[in-house]
Each structure stands twice: as structure tokens, then as C-alpha cells.
Amino acid sequence: MLSEIKTDLKTNVNIIESSLNFINSNGKINKKNLNNLITEFKIGKTGYVYILDERGIFMAHPTKQGKNYSEEDYIQKIVNSNNKEGILEYTSAATGQDKIVYYKYNEKLKGYIIPGINKTEYTDKILKSVLIETAIIIIIIFLVIVTLLFRMMGKIIISALERFETGLNHFFEYAQGTTDTIKIIEIDRKDEFG
């Protein structure tokens, strides 16, 4: 019933074509076809699209088509708004779930097209993304710190071993008689490497 998302080459806007004609030749809306078209749209796991007329009656909805919800606060905010489009957050009276919707008035339909999603689904994706990015940053910082510590410890160990080697070479020179003085290794540290 719906085509793949296509891009209009003139306007560079994404469009979806439908084989259902929801506006009759006389200009009236075929509510059954409109509802079938709208209920095909899914947003994430829990989101969907619906159409609300100017009075607060669902023109198209997966479960509430034709029902009047004009007394609901979030519906009143949409239909009484001076803006013809916007974003609204509300708590569903039926499910108690927090929702996020975007609404935009459509002149031809004389109603609002409203895609919506449960807020937790939306925020969980953001939170998951932030947590993954944060974990990656922490791992990178940890690896940099560990690398720096190993380099510092390597320099300390090599420096101590070089002093020991120099002192040992002087001792062998003295033992072989090539020098008559012994150089004392200065110990300035109180660990295994002195």
C-alpha cells in the first residue's frame, strides 16, 4: 500500500506514495482508506501516527477512529493552539505513559497529522547512545593513563638498571685492573631498584 521513501528531486523532500486514494473525486475524505493508510505507519516499537480534526475527533487512529477526545488536556492544547505545528509532551490517561508528539495542521484534511511515541522509548535510545559514547571515552582515557604509567615506570626501571650497569662496569674495570678507583653507586631511592 505504501511505497519506499523517495526523494523529490525538485524540492529534495522525502515522500511516501500510497496506492490508497483517501480523497474522493468530489473532494470528500474516504475515512476508511485514510485510517488504513495512517495505521500502516509505525514509529519505533510503540509509536504511531494519527489524524485529529479541528474539534478533537480522531479522523484516523489505530484504535480510536471516530472517537471524540476533545475534553482531554493534550487534545485541547493542540486544537486551541495558535500555532499550526509544535511538539507536545503529555501523560496518557489510558496507559499512564509519558508521550511525545509532533503535530502539524493540514489544510486539505482540515485536521492535525500527529506522529507520537512513548517518551521512554525515545529517551532510552538517547540514553543508550550517551552511555555507549561515555563508556568508549572512559575506556580511551583509561588506556591513555595506563600507557603513560607503563612508560613512566619503564623509564624509572631503565634508569635504575642503567645506573646499576654503569656501577657494575666500573667494578669490573677495577677488578681487571684497568682503573684504580671504585665509583660508588649512589642510592637515592628506597625501592627495589635503588
Q: Give mean pLDDT, residues 93-119.
A: 87
Of 62, 86, 118, which residue constitutes the final position of a domain? 118
Whether pTM > 0.85 for this model: the answer is no
Q: How confident is the model at residue 161 (pLDDT cuts 50, 70, 90)?
A: confident
Numbers of helices and strands, H then E, in the chain: 3, 8
Q: What is the mean pLDDT of residues 128-153?
A: 89
| 70 lies in the same domain as 82 | yes
Under a CB-based contact definition with an 8 Å cutoff, are residues 135 and 142 in contact?
no
Q: Are residues 2 and 72 in the same domain?
A: no
Q: What is the rounded CA–CA span in Å between residue 172 and residue 166?
A: 10
- One domain, residues 89 and 21: no
Q: Is the pLDDT of residue 154 over 70?
A: yes
Query: Is residue 140 included in any domain, yes or no?
Result: no
> Tell me, what's the pLDDT at 13?
60
CA 155, chain centre distance (Å): 43
Residues 78 and 6 grouped into a single domain: no
| Percentage of the residues of the chain whose pLDDT score is greater than 70 | 82
Are 194 and 157 spatial neighbours (Cβ–Cβ below 8 Å)? Answer: no
Q: In this predicted structure, what is the pLDDT of residue 57?
A: 92
Number of domains in the chain: 2
Residues 47 and 2 in one domain: no
Together in a domain, 49 and 19: no
User: pLDDT-derived band of residue 1, with 50, 70 and 90 as boundaries?
Assistant: very low
**Host domain of residue 74:** 31-118
Question: Residues 130-134: what's their mean pLDDT?
Answer: 85
Residue after which a domain boundary falls, among 118, 138, 168: 118
pLDDT of residue 77: 92
Q: Of 94, 118, 142, which residue constitutes the final position of a domain?
A: 118
Task: Report the phi/psi class of residue 149: left, alpha or beta, with left for phi > 0 and alpha for psi in -120 to 50.
Answer: alpha
For the segment 69-90, what is each residue's pLDDT rounded down to a tens digit?
989 999 999 998 888 889 999 9
